[in-house]
Structure 1
Amino acid sequence: MIELTAKTIVLDLDDTLYLERDFARSGYAAVGRSLSRLVDPEQFATVCFELLAIGHRGDIFDRALDYFGIEGDERDIPAMVRTYRGHEPDIALCDDVPAFLERFSAKRTALISDGPEAMQAAKVRALGLESRIDHIILTGQWEGDFGKPHPRAFREVAERSGHAPEELVYIADNASKDFLAPNEMGWLTIQVVRPGRVHNSSPPTPDHAARLTLTSLKELKPA
């Protein structure tokens, strides 16, 4: 196991503490239910999830509606997106997360997550993280583009912790944006590469790459 000497453990949310595909599956089911007068809800959700699995992202609802032949006034993509983002998700922490949080319960903890604030807050509630994480920052609360890799959230965590850069660690999954700012600030960065994660892209530059890579939080223990 890898011993962490960090005094503040900072975590990402999506595909780090739970699988983002589970939120997608839950959201597609909610959208399917909202369209029950037009399609079979379960079949609609299955089609959407299959589109996600083969790599589609921003056009999933368009393609699903094409599949079911839904046109005209019934084709309300903005309403579907609102339902997807606004539903109460049926998601759960990955198996290794509860024990990890228990092992590091004596440390300060923080969470930094991008995305619409209400949607991310619903995930936090569903996962029961409000009582398990000391400081939660949802970057969607701020007007403007302050999502990762912008350093604003990382600076706030560092200032609030009062710890030196070498005493902070950021654990996340997405090498395209998660690690650039904490790397530049001198933190330790760790990438969790979970099977079934949504983002599989390589770091665009060496500065974007995490210092360590692992497949499970079981590999970490406090020093």
Structure 2
Amino acid sequence: MIELTARTVVLDLDDTLYLERDFARSGYAAVGRSLSHLLNSERFATVCYELLAIGHRGDIFDRALDYCGVAPEDRDMPELVRIYRTHDPDIALCDDVAGFLERFSERRIGLISDGPADMQARKLEVLGLKDRFDHCILTGQWEGDFGKPHPRAFAEIQERSGHSPEEHVYIADNATKDFLAPNQMGWLTIQLFRPGRIHNKPPPSDDHAPRLSLTDLKGLKPA
């Protein structure tokens, strides 16, 4: 068990508090239903999920539509993306999250998450976390490129908390972007290696690497 002295505990959302693959599976099903006049919706969703599992990202819908034989002129890609982002997701908290939040209920709890702000906010509502955080920053609310690894969100939470850098910890999953800024600011950083997570790439440099790593949140308690 690792004891955290941090007075402000900041969390990522996707693959940290719930499994992002569950949101993807739910979104693919919603998109498939919207295309049921053109294809087998369940097969479309399955193909999308299989493509995700082998590492495809931005071109999943096009590849799945190719596989299902839908002509390019019959594809309204902006509408499919809109459906994916705005659907009511079938997702749930990982089983260690509620206990973690209870253990750290006397500390300030924050959240920093990338992605379209409306989509991320909908996830928080479905997960029952809408009003759970003292500091909640969805970087998609800002115009411009302020997603991680940009330091803006971390600096804003540090300013709000009033705590020194070493009194902050950031817990997240993606070493390609999550830890660079808080490392440079002097925060403690912890990577979660949840089974079934989507992002598996190693840190691109030592500066991107977390200070600690765990498979779940059960190994953390307040000091």
Which digits, 9 at most, give the CA deviation of each residue in 1:15-39, with x for residues without a partner?
Answer: 1111110010010011011111112
Could you say what the CA RMSD is over the residues aligned between the two structures, in angstroms? 0.8
- TM-score, with structure 2 as normaliser: 0.98
Residue 65 of structure 1 and its aligned partner are, at CA, apart by 0.5
How far apart in 2 are the matches of 1:81 and 1:117?
14
Residue 131 of structure 1 and its aligned partner are, at CA, apart by 2.6
The percentage of counterpart residues that share the same residue type is: 76
How far apart in 1 are the matches of 2:96 and 2:81?
31
What are the equivalent positions in structure 2 for 1:37-76 lying under 5 Å apart? 37-76=37-76
The reply on whether 1:168 has 2:164 as its aligned counterpart is no
1:18 is matched with 18
2:138 is matched with 138
What SS class does the counterpart of residue 217 from structure 1 fall into? Answer: coil
User: Structure 2 regions of 5+ residues with no counterpart?
Assistant: none
1:108 is matched with 108
What are the equivalent positions in structure 2 for 1:75-86 lying under 5 Å apart? 75-86=75-86
How far apart in 2 are the matches of 1:193 and 1:150?
22
How far apart in 1 are the matches of 2:172 and 2:58?
23
Residue 73 of structure 1 and its aligned partner are, at CA, apart by 2.9
What SS class does the counterpart of residue 204 from structure 2 fall into? Answer: coil
Residue 160 of structure 1 and its aligned partner are, at CA, apart by 0.4
User: Structure 1 regions of 5+ residues with no counterpart?
Assistant: none
How far apart in 2 are the matches of 1:153 and 1:195?
27
The reply on whether 1:34 has 2:38 as its aligned counterpart is no
How far apart in 1 are the matches of 2:112 and 2:215?
20
1:221 is matched with 221
Which digits, 9 at most, give the CA deviation of each residue in 1:112-168, with x for residues without a partner?
Answer: 000111111111111111232222100000000100011100011000000011110
Does the 8 A contact of 2:21 with 2:197 survive in 1? Answer: yes
How far apart in 1 are the matches of 2:17 and 2:91?
11
How far apart in 1 are the matches of 2:115 and 2:145?
11
2:94 is matched with 94
How far apart in 2 are the matches of 1:180 and 1:72?
40
How far apart in 1 are the matches of 2:210 and 2:12?
13
Change (3 A) 1:67 1:2: same
What are the equivalent positions in structure 2 for 1:177-188 lying under 5 Å apart? 177-188=177-188
1:151 is matched with 151
After superposing on structure 2, the runs of 4+ consecutive aligned residues of structure 1 that deviate more than 2 Å are none
1:117 is matched with 117
Does the 8 A contact of 2:121 with 2:130 survive in 1? Answer: no
Residue 40 of structure 1 and its aligned partner are, at CA, apart by 2.1
Residue 82 of structure 1 and its aligned partner are, at CA, apart by 1.0
